[in-house]
Amino acid sequence: MSGRLILARHGQTVANVARRLDTKLPGAELTELGIAQAHTLGTNLADRPPVLLVASRAIRARQTAHQIELAAGVAATVREGLHEVQAGDLEDRSDEESHKLFMKVYEAWHSGDLRSRVPGGESGLDVIDRYVPVVEDLREHYLGDGSGDVVVVSHGAAIRLIAAYLGKVPGSFATSNHLANTQTVELVPRPGGGWECARWGTFQAPFHETGGAGADDPMG
């Protein structure tokens, strides 16, 4: 039985509270609530400690992973390529117009237009090209022998894009169901290649074309 790839969104940050499009490294720090959320995630993972704990280079991801370290007793490593979708000219903006523009592009990705981008930002293909090779490397070296799970602490928009892309999750479901801070998506390697998405936040497979909108901000 293969282990799971658990993609976990970081804890709440000061930028999340301010609804700032915070994507550029190293990014914002966790709030006190975010630290508590991260520790709770670690406690929940302690019953079945992962064989590997990985974080993106962002401060918020590394701080979240540190709390998981403390609670689950697994040392964290940092990997390139797992950071948030880059918002380009919209970076650090909190106005409604900027959020709407980002979401318009993000929804285009999930409708199949992966070349679309916000001004100065990444395309969906850019994100896939840097993120998926890391996932496949983790699969090759740590999953498949039944020894346990791999936990990757990453970011909301990036996780949803990659999980939908790899797990063949309907685009309308992915855009309608945000991930709250420290919620997770679980991908299971399929025999012979490919992935199956087994869980998305509070939802279990199968996933349908429509779903209830999440209460949290769309990215970070």
Give residue-wise pLDDT tens across range 75-118.
Answer: 999 999 999 999 999 999 999 999 999 999 999 999 999 999 99
Length of the chain equals: 220
Q: What pLDDT was estimated at residue 217?
A: 54
pLDDT at 211 over 60: no
Say what the pTM is: 0.93
Q: What pLDDT was estimated at residue 220?
A: 59
Adjacency order of strands within the sheet including 76-78: 76-78, 52-55, 150-154, 5-9, 184-189, 195-200, 203-204
CB 26 within 8 A of CB 59: yes
- Phi first, then psi, for residue 35 (nearest 5°) are -65, -45
Q: What pLDDT was estimated at residue 108?
A: 96
The pLDDT tens digits for 182-203 are 999 999 999 888 999 999 999 9
Q: What pLDDT was estimated at residue 147?
A: 78
pLDDT at 218 over 90: no
Closest CA to 132 of 87, 178, 166: 166
pLDDT at 214 over 70: no
* CATH, residue 96: 3.40.50.1240
Q: What pLDDT was estimated at residue 208?
A: 85
pLDDT at 29 over 90: yes
Top-confidence residue, 66 or 215: 66
Residue 145 domain flag: yes
Residue 219 domain flag: no
Looking at the 3D structure of the chain, how many domains does it have? 1
Q: How confident is the model at residue 209 (pLDDT cuts 50, 70, 90)?
A: confident
pLDDT at 210 over 70: no
Asked if residue 206 has a cis previous peptide bond (ω within 30° of 0), the answer is: yes
The residue segments making up the domain with residue 61 are 5-204
Residue 209 domain flag: no
Site of tokens 């950071």: 83
Residue 52 domain flag: yes
Residue 107 domain flag: yes
| Partner residues linked to 7 by β-bridges | 152, 185
Write the DSSP assignment of the chain as a string of letters: -PPPEEEEEPPPBHHHHHT----SSS-PPB-HHHHHHHHHHHHHHTTS--SEEEE-SSHHHHHHHHHHHHHH---EEE-TT-SPPP-GGGTT--SHHHHHHHHHHHHHHHTT-TT-B-TTS-BHHHHHHHHHHHHHHHHHHHSSSSS--EEEEE-HHHHHHHHHHHHT--HHHHHHS---TT-EEEEEEPTTS-EEEEEETTEES---S--PPPSS-S--
Residue 183 domain flag: yes
Site of tokens 């390697």: 189
The pLDDT tens digits for 145-184 are 777 999 999 999 999 999 999 999 999 999 999 999 999 9
